[in-house]
Structure 1
Amino acid sequence: PTRFGNMAAPLKYFLDSTSELWMNGALIDKPATAFSASSSLHGGQETTLITMLIPLLHHGMVYAGVPYSATELLETTQGGTPYGTTHVSGKRGDNDVDDKEQRLALAQGKRIARLALAMQPLRETK
């Protein structure tokens, strides 16, 4: 979830606890992606994804967002950015994920899976 344009504190706490992984280089060249939701439009979804991106890059991970070949990025009125799929849940969490958001999430999931498979031989040679 988005909290004032930033990732939620429990996720930040978790990422802050990964120093040992960083010191050992354990996540270098691992694929990564992120998605977010907020209760309101303009609730900080993009900045949340960017704040999530920073520690992943510090770990040396390879980040995959949503490319504009996913045409729903140009059509959605609720959520979705090139940084990752987003959703506006509504004040009470009563807004369902719409078809465009579902297709964006599917495109993002397929992209990270393809990237992971393509990077597999790379990781095995290290």
Structure 2
Amino acid sequence: MRDVLVLYYSTHGATRQLAQLIARGIESVPGAQARLRTVPRISTVCEAVEATIPDSGAPYVELADLTECIAVALGSPTRFGNMAAPLKYFLDGTVNDWLSGTLAGKPACVFTSTGSMHGGNETTLLSMMLPLLHHGMVIVGTPYTEPLLSTTTSGGTPYGPSHIAGPESRLPISEAEKQLAILQGRRLAEIALKLAVPR
């Protein structure tokens, strides 16, 4: 089995649910398994605000996860059209991986959740692609050959899966959003296995 890293930050749980759906898609591909990881919250006053091990959910990511996995799915809620600070903080700490080319040639996809239909889903997805491109990763989007992309009235973009959570983050993930996330996970795993260097 080859691992695909599903790395996310989630505040109200919607991005975590998308991560779990993407993981389901990854694990539908023979030979692939999802490795779910998250990042801790950060503080503007530089004091510890999280335990070293999360109380529940996915473990915190370690730099070794980047080396050991054959692909990365990266998810964040939208923050003013950009990724959330905790995820950006982790990515800012991957300079040594950039210098050594740890991620070069590996496929990656991105996903997000936001409070409104025009709340910056696509710009957030694009902002997450930038560090991945600097790492030399191969970006895997959602092609329009997937009919759901043209018919969804909720989230879903060619840049990656998305969810519209509503202003109070209470809207459930729609059926179209679920299916697009699962399909994205499957697509990422299939491409990752084709590109992976044999062990």
Q: Fold conserved (TM > 0.5)?
A: yes
Find out whether 1:64 has 2:140 as its counterpart.
yes
For the residue of structure 2 that corresponds to 1:37, the secondary structure is strand
Which of 119, 139, 155 is matched with 1:43 structurally?
119
Displacement of 1:124: 3.7
Q: State how far apart, in whole Å, the 1-side matches of 2:164 and 2:145 are.
A: 22
**Within 5 Å, which residues of 2 pair with 1:76-87?**
76-87=152-163
Query: Which of 40, 63, 85 is matched with 1:9 structurally?
Result: 85
* Aligned partner letter, 1:14: F
If each structure's helix is expressed as a fraction of its own residues, which one has the higher value? Answer: 1
CA distance in 2, matches of 1:54, 1:117: 23
The aligned counterpart of 1:106 is 182
For 1:19, the equivalent position in structure 2 comes to 95
d(CA) in 1 for partners of 2:147, 2:81:
25
CA distance in 2, matches of 1:69, 1:35: 19
Letter in 1 for 2:116: S
TM-score by length of 1: 0.94
Identity %, equivalent residues: 52
Q: Report how many residues are paired.
A: 123
Residue identity opposite 2:137 in structure 1: M
Q: Residue type matched to 1:95 in 2?
A: L
What are the ranges of 5 or more consecutive residues in structure 2 without an aligned counterpart?
A: 1-76
> Out of 135, 160, 171, which is 1:95 matched to?
171
Aligned-partner Cα distance in 1 for 2:145–2:174: 19
* Aligned equivalents of 1:99, 1:117: Cα separation in 2: 27
Question: Over the residues paired in the alignment, what is the CA RMSD in angstroms?
Answer: 1.1
Rounded to whole Å, the distance in 1 between the matches of 2:81 and 2:111 is 13
The amino acid across from 1:58 in the alignment is: H
1:30 corresponds, among 98, 106, 123, to 106
4+ residue segments displaced more than 3 Å: none
Q: CA deviation at 1:52?
A: 0.4
Separation of aligned partners in 2, 1:86 and 1:26: 27
Aligned twin of 1:53: 129
